[in-house]
Amino acid sequence: MGALAGRASAAGHLDVRNVEVVAPNLKRRLSGVTSTIIQLIPLQAQDLGIASFGLGLPPSLPKMRWWQLPALLRRPAGKPFRIWHARRNVEMVAGLILRDVFRAPLRILFTSAAQRHHKPFTRFLIRRMDAVVATSTRSGSFLEVPHRVIMHGVDTERFHPPQNADDLWAATGLPGRYGIGCFGRIRHQKGTDLFVDAMIELLPRYPDWTAVVLGRATAEHRAFAEELERRVREAGLSDRIRFLGEVPDVRPWYRRLSLYVAPSRNEGFGLTPLEAMASETAVVASDAGAYAELVVGGETGMVVPADDGPVLVSAIEPYLADPALAERQGTAGRAHVVNRFALASEAAALREVYESLWRKGR
C-alpha cells in the first residue's frame, strides 16, 4: 500500500526506519477520528512514510506494532525526527512521554476538532505541541495557540453520484418514490429524535416520501431508541419511518436518498454532510460542529439552529414539496465538495504542515 508499504521488511513487518509520520489511534471504538485516519492514510502513504498505530484499525493500513515502539527512539531515515500526529488527549500524552521522557526524536502535531472551550488539562497539553491544526474556523476559535485551519475532506471517488439501478430509491424495496435519511449512532446528541419527530409531522402530508434511520443504539441509548420506535408506531408510520440499524456499506444509501438530514445537537466536525453532498444529495443540517462551514444555505441545502425542532421541520418541508429542488441542490453539492473538500486537499495541506516542521528542524 503506497510508498511505505513497499518498504516493509522481508518478514512482512513495517520497517520503522522508513516511518516519517505516526498517526496513533488510541481508542478502540469507532469514531470520527478513526474514520479520518482510515480514509487519509492510504492517500498519504502514496508519497509519504506514514504508519498508523493503535487500536481498531483495519489490517490494510500500514501499521506499527506495539513491540516496535522502541524503534521510535532512533531517527527515521532521511528526516531529523518523526512527527507524531495526535488527535486526542491520550495521544498527546503518549507523544509527550515519548518526546520528553524517553527523548525520542519526535515533534508532535495535534489536530483539534472540539467546538467548545478546552478543559485546563487539554489546554496544558496543547501548549506543549509543536504545531496545532483546527478542523474548522469554529474549532480554531477555541484555541489559545497559533494554529492552521485544515478542514476534513472526503474521498469523492468512494462517495459518488448514482451510477446504476442499485443506487436508486427503488432498489431499497421501501415504499414511496423519494427517500430522506438520517445516519449515525442513535442518541440524543445526534438529534435522532428531532429527525423522527419532524418525519412524524411531515410524512402524512407527503405520501411519496419515506424516511430511513441508519445506525445503531449502544446499550446506554437503547431506551432512547425504543422510545423513538414507539412514537413512530403510535403515529401509524412504521412502514414509512424505518430503523434499519447498521448496514454493511452506507455509501449506496447516500446515493439513494433525495435529502439527507444531519440534526445533531453537538458535533466535533461531522463528516456525514460532506459524504451526502459528494453523493449528489442535498443536505439539511443543524449548525453543530462544522456543518455551517460545509453546507451552503440555499445552494447545497439548508443550515438551521441546533436543537430547534420547528425550524428543522420548516427547513425540510420545501424539499418534500418540491423534489426537483432537492435534485438541483444535490447537483450543486457534489460540485461544492469536489472543489473545496476533496480528501486529496486535506492530505496536501497536512503534508505542508509536516514539511514546515521538518524545515524548522533542519
Closest CA to 182 of 166, 162, 199: 199
Within 8 A by CB and 6+ apart from 123, the residues are 144
Gap between the Cα atoms of 349 and 77, Å rounded: 23
Hey, what domains does the chain have and what are their CATH numbers? 2-153+342-361 (3.40.50.2000), 165-340 (3.40.50.2000)
Gap between the Cα atoms of 348 and 31, Å rounded: 23
Within 8 A by CB and 6+ apart from 135, the residues are 111, 112, 113, 149, 150, 151, 152, 268, 269, 290
Output the tens digit of pLDDT for each of the chain's 362 residues.
345 544 443 334 689 999 999 999 998 776 778 888 999 999 999 999 999 999 888 888 999 999 999 999 999 999 999 999 999 999 999 999 999 999 999 999 999 998 889 999 999 999 999 999 999 999 999 999 999 999 999 999 999 999 999 999 999 999 999 999 999 999 999 999 999 999 999 999 999 999 999 999 999 999 999 999 999 999 999 999 999 999 999 999 999 999 999 999 988 888 999 999 999 999 999 999 899 999 999 999 999 999 999 999 999 999 999 999 999 999 999 999 999 999 999 999 999 999 999 999 76
CA angle 260/345/53 to nearest 5° reads 90
Q: Is the pTM of this model over 0.85?
A: yes
CB count within 10 Å of CB 213 equals 24
Within 8 A by CB and 6+ apart from 296, the residues are 332, 336
